[in-house]
Amino acid sequence: MQGWFQALGNLSAGNLIMFVVGGVLIYLAIKKDYEPMLLLPIGFGAILANIPMSSAIGNGGFLTLLYNAGIKTELFPVLIFIAVGAMIDFGPLLQQPAMIFFGAAAQLGIFLTTILGASLGFSLKEAASIGIIGAADGPTSIYVANLFAPQLLGPISVAAYSYMALVPVIQPPVITALTTPEERRMRMDLNLVRVSRRARILFPIMVTVVAGILAPMSVALVGSLMFGNLIRECGVLDKLSRAAQNDLADLVTLVLGITIGSTMTADRFLTPATLMILGMGLIAFVLDTAGGVLFAKLLNIFLKHKINPMVGAAGISAFPMSARVIHKLAQREDPQNFILMQSVGANVAGQIGSIVAGGVILSLVGPMA
């Protein structure tokens, strides 16, 4: 009874606001179907963490134990990438190798937002952690934020996953503003190359080696993603591939989400910095989309066979949502225009590009800061 009165006496306005924030995330997950596997546990974790004298956090709290074991050690993001790698079919990219360039161009927002964050008073490490939101890649955002700015992990994670869910809302206006109806109606020849089983097996190994040499700090992320993909493509580990795609992905996503939510205490989350992070995360997404579109338009100046500029926007890591959005935009302008395969190729390239960009940020900013 005494504990009940103490908890009630310690209940602050900040705790009540965070209950509302957690409730909003749960509402968006259930009612709007926005990244429900993550926003729902994040929202509930925020509620657990903001109950005064909560036994879920602090010494012996199970959420704190999960944080120390899974996020502080970077274990959860790495396991998520193994699961994601097992889910991804890189075939569309291997059939259209040129799409890899869009996976690089659509990371522009990360670096521009990092510069913006530093100019607004954030430390270089904090600014880089915020900029990574533009990768449209939740595990990479968590990985970088945990290393560079763990105090901002909550708002960065919420921004990353919320904007990933809002790709169908964010991308179309940006693409429409930067392209003409004629460009959006542009048709593309597929010219697909045949991809052998050997190529599918060698691809994850070669990407790991090349990306690791270019950005050694990306090896943990690229390596885990490509290991998951190798399990998928090798053809002799079907049972493990299915386990990674289903059991591992579901379990780690569940504990990752509720653990992130536990970092969203009122004293950390209810600050002016949180609003700035949400704003800059949106800017990073917009700039990434714009970077991919403008890069495609630049290439078209020199190419004989033109590229539909919208495909460049699919170079972000939000797979396969962004590819579907681009294809629907093309179909809206011309129902006979099918650019889904090209968009998927750029989209899976974005998976690699976002991780390499994260590794580059870690390699560049770590020594500087």
Residue 3 has pLDDT above 80, yes or no: no
- Sign of the C-alpha dihedral computed for residues 108, 113, 116 and 122 taken in this order: negative
What is the average pLDDT value for the chain, to the nearest integer? 88
CATH of domain 2-368: 1.20.1530
For the chain, how many residues are written?
A: 369
Residue 6 has pLDDT above 80, yes or no: no
Grade residue 357 by pLDDT with cuts at 50, 70 and 90.
Answer: confident
129-150: pLDDT as tens digits: 999 988 778 888 889 998 999 9
CA distance 353 to 206: 15
Where along the chain do its domains lie? 2-368
* 319 close to 88: Cβ distance less than 8 angstroms: yes
What is the mean predicted confidence (pLDDT) over 64-73?
91
Grade residue 53 by pLDDT with cuts at 50, 70 and 90.
Answer: confident
User: Percent of the chain scored above 70 by pLDDT?
Assistant: 96
| Strand ranges for 244-331 from DSSP E | none
DSSP 52: T
* 159 close to 137: Cβ distance less than 8 angstroms: no
Record the pTM. Answer: 0.85
What's residue 64's pLDDT? 93
Grade residue 9 by pLDDT with cuts at 50, 70 and 90.
Answer: low
Q: Which of 7-11, 240-244, 319-323 shows the lowest per-residue confidence on average (mean pLDDT)?
A: 7-11
163-183: pLDDT as tens digits: 887 888 899 999 999 999 999
What's residue 178's pLDDT? 94
Q: Return phi, psi of residue 167, to 5°.
A: -50, -40
Residue 1 has pLDDT above 90, yes or no: no
User: CA dist 13 to 20, 261, 275, Å?
Assistant: 11, 18, 18
Residue 203 has pLDDT above 70, yes or no: yes
Grade residue 209 by pLDDT with cuts at 50, 70 and 90.
Answer: very high
90-135: pLDDT as tens digits: 888 888 888 888 888 888 889 999 999 999 999 999 999 999 988 7
- Give 148's Cβ-side CA count (13 Å radius): 30
